[in-house]
Amino acid sequence: MNKYNPPRMNPSSLRSRFATRFLRSLSEINAQKPTASSSSPTEIFRRYRRIKVAADKSMAYSVRSRRTWSRAMLWKLRTRPCGRRSVKTSTIVRKTRHEKQNKNTTTATTTGEDGVVSGVEADELRELVPGGEAMDLYNLLDETAHYIKCLTTQVQVMKKIADFYSP
């Protein structure tokens, strides 16, 4: 009998940590579905929201608190289900007001050999990276690099799972 041996994966790599967590969440979501209406558009939409949150949560938990962006995302996810949006925004406002003084010194023109790092693009980046509002430019760039690496891992794993499931 020919046994298919899949290539060995490093069990502590980011990819396998994320894949394990995400698959677990997926099977939980799968188990919760009401069999009668599982194909209705509302159910599909609701499940899509849950899957998206599960993916982000799995990635954030796989990175733990080692990174500012993962800490920010975990915090965001914890306050999200309770619906207590007011708590989150007030804390962020307090933070950004304190950091805005620093922001003016770091996002003002930093001249490198290749040109000027404008504040506008850095602000756009701050909105995209979780927790970016409270970072200075150096940490922002550092966190962005790691965030992009994790996002690409997330996309690759999700793509593999989707391809596996599709007929």
Partner 1 sequence: MSSRRSRSRQTGSTSRISDDQITDLVSKLHQLLPEIRNAHSDKVSSAKVLQETCNYIRSLHREVDDLSERLSELLATTDNAQAAIIRTLLMQ
Where along the sequence are the contacts to partner 1 (CB under 8 A)? 6, 8-9, 11, 16, 19-20, 23-24, 26-27, 29-31, 33, 38-39, 43-45, 47-48, 51-52, 55-56, 68, 99, 101-102, 105-106, 110-118, 121-122, 124-125, 128-129, 135-139, 141-142, 144-145, 147-149, 151-152, 154-155, 158-159, 161-162, 164-166
- Asked whether the beta carbons of 117 and 109 are under 8 A apart, the reply is yes
| Nearer CB in complex with partner 1: 87/118 | 118
| Nearer CB in complex with partner 1: 41/86 | 41
As to burial, measured by CB atoms within 10 angstroms (0-12 exposed, 13-18 middle, 19+ buried), residue 70 is buried
The distance of closest approach from Cβ of residue 82 to partner 1 in the complex, given in angstroms and rounded to an integer, is 22
Structure-block tokens of residue 85 = 């949006």
The distance of closest approach from Cβ of residue 124 to partner 1 in the complex, given in angstroms and rounded to an integer, is 5
Query: Given CA atoms 121, 125, 127, 132 in this order, what sign does their dihedral have?
Result: negative
The distance of closest approach from Cβ of residue 142 to partner 1 in the complex, given in angstroms and rounded to an integer, is 6
The distance of closest approach from Cβ of residue 155 to partner 1 in the complex, given in angstroms and rounded to an integer, is 5
Q: Name the DSSP letter for residue 7.
A: P
| Nearer CB in complex with partner 1: 26/63 | 26
Q: At which residue do the structure tokens 């939409």 appear?
A: 45
| Nearer CB in complex with partner 1: 77/158 | 158
| CA atoms of 29 and 47, how far apart (whole Å) | 7
Q: Name the DSSP letter for residue 115.
A: E
**CA atoms lying within 13 Å on the CB side of residue 147:** 21
